[in-house]
Each structure stands twice: as structure tokens, then as C-alpha cells.
Amino acid sequence: MTVAITRREELADFLRRRRARISPGDVGLPPGLRRRTPGLRREEVAQLAGVGVTWYTWLEQGRRINASPQVLDAIARTLRLEPVEREHLYRLANVPLAPVRDSDGDCPLHPAIQQIIDALAPNPASVVNARYDLLAWNQPYGAMFPNMVAAPPGERNTIWQIFTMPDCCNGFLNRADEYGPLVASLRAAFGRHVDEPDWAEFVQRLCAASALFAGMWAAHDVARPRQWNKVFRHDTLGELHMVSTAMILPHSPDTRMLVYTPVDADNQRRLEAILALRDVPPITPHSHEGCPRTR
């Protein structure tokens, strides 16, 4: 399958999903009768956007047609797309809008990046790319997340770990709050990397490994990464509440530095106590013999 066909299929799926979430009442149309599927009809989108019904139908069917920025803007307004969704639409339509991305995994990180995250100790810090592959980390991060840093390269990935590691082996308590936003940010990034086989292969493997991820991926929601409040479990010291803050590295826009900061002084003391442990892994699940995913 060529890159152009893949891009058009992504565009068609995105438009269908976004059309389905807009009700006639949202845009001032009567509900009508015999609506077999939710959302607007194709002809209604075409009418509201001021484009031909046949042309819009072909666009949503993934046919090879050209779209101008003006027409895409009209469609974006009709479908009430957020800014990140509008950018995603432009990329899938292969219409220039956002700056050309830098590769986020082909070039090694500058040595100064490791020095910076090392200097952030005792706060755990890491560097990830747009696919959430772990590229670098400091000692506190390695102590906090031993399963992550010990995973094989193909699974040393935040989204992979969150969706595939069973509850018995995962110390991340509120990860369900991140399922949707994480998948949405990955989907937005995928629009910039749709021509890269390793991205497609990663998504296919994850869909096969997690039915939950596959269902969320099919929804084609898109979003930007955001700040998180995370809750971790320690067998001895209890819960640890931290804020995860992302900072884009200027020379590699698809690469982000993540810093975990305790929410208050009590959690700061708990973090320091966890990191002071030597023989017991700091963040561990409740012990279960024979756990299939211990690393």
C-alpha cells in the first residue's frame, strides 16, 4: 500500500468519525427521520461547507482528489474541529499548514540533554519521542520505573506499557484516566508520520496486543500532549502523587522532556524515601507469583 493511499484512508476515516459526532441540532438543522447512523449526513456537511456533495463524498471515500486550504477550512468549521484536529486534517489532506517536522528518532540526543535530566535528580526525568518511545532517563526515573527501562527496545514505550501490562504488575494507579488522551495524542502524531513503516508496525502490534487500545484507536480522536497528575503505588510507603510536566526540546520538536514533580512536601519526602531504598524496587505491584509480565 502506497503512502498516498494510506494517507487518504486515514483522512476518510477521520472525516467519517468527526461527522458522526455532530448532531443536526448542533448546526441548526432539524433532526429529520430515518437516520440510520448518528451525526450529519454527507450531503449536510457538503451543504454547510459550501462544497459539492459528490466532491465531499469522494473525499470521505478516500478517492484521489485535491483540496484547497479554503475548502478544508470550511469543512473544519462545519465539523467544529479543534485546532489540533484542523492541523491533523491538513496533514492527512497533504496540504501545507504546519512547519515540516524534524525526525524524532533518527538522530541521537545531544549529550547535554542527559546532563540536564541527570541534574534534575531527585526528580525523575526522561525524554520521549512523539510515539512515546523512551529515549533517555535519569537514575531516579530508572529506580521509579524498573519495568520500563528493563523492557526490550520495542516495548520500552509508555503507551505499550500502560496498555499491555496487567494490573498485578503495574504500579500506576490512575492510568485509566490517561488512556483516551494518550491514544488521541498518538493519533495526532501518527498523522505526521503516516508514511513511516515503523509507526504503522507499532500501531498494528499494539492493536493486536490490546483490544482496549484498538477500540480507542478506531475512534480517531486527536489531541495534544498535556500535563498529568499521576498516582503511583508502593508496597511499603503507600501512594505517591506526582505531576508530569512535558517540555519540547527546541532542536527536535517531536521530542519532549518529561519531569515528575511531587505535588507537595509530604510526597517529596515519600519520593526521597523510595529512592533511598537499595534492595527493593521502588515502584512495584503487589506480589503475585507467576506474573506473566515481570521484568
pLDDT tens-digit readout, 156-170: 999 999 999 877 666
Q: With 70 as the cut, is the pLDDT of residue 290 above it? A: no
Does the residue 13 lie in any domain?
A: yes
Does the residue 102 lie in any domain?
A: no
Question: Which of 92, 120, 139 is a domain's end point?
Answer: 92
How many angstroms separate the CA atoms of 24 and 39, rounded? 7
Distances (CA, A) of 7 to 13, 34, 93, 293: 10, 32, 7, 35
- 3-class DSSP state for residue 264? coil
Q: Specify whether the CB–CB gap between 194 and 3 falls below 8 A.
A: yes
Verdict on whether the full-model pTM lies above 0.75: no
- 3-class DSSP state for residue 294? coil
Q: What angle do CA 138, 143, 144 make, to 5 degrees?
A: 100
Does the residue 282 lie in any domain?
A: no
- 3-class DSSP state for residue 151? coil
Q: Do 117 and 247 share a structural domain?
A: yes
Q: Out of 54-63, 126-135, 141-150, 183-192, pick the least confident.
A: 141-150
Q: Do 188 and 42 share a structural domain?
A: no
Indicate the burial class of 214 (C-beta count within 10 angstroms; 0-12, 13-18, 19 or more): middle
Q: Do 149 and 65 share a structural domain?
A: no
* Residue 184's CATH number: 3.30.450.180
Residue 50 phi/psi, 5° resolution? 75, 35
Query: What domain count does the chain have?
Result: 2
The percent of residues above 70 in pLDDT, for the chain, comes to 86
pLDDT tens-digit readout, 112-152: 899 999 999 999 999 999 999 999 999 989 888 888 888 88
Q: Specify whether the CB–CB gap between 115 and 139 falls below 8 A.
A: no
Residue 31: half-sphere exposure toward Cβ, Cα within 13 Å: 5
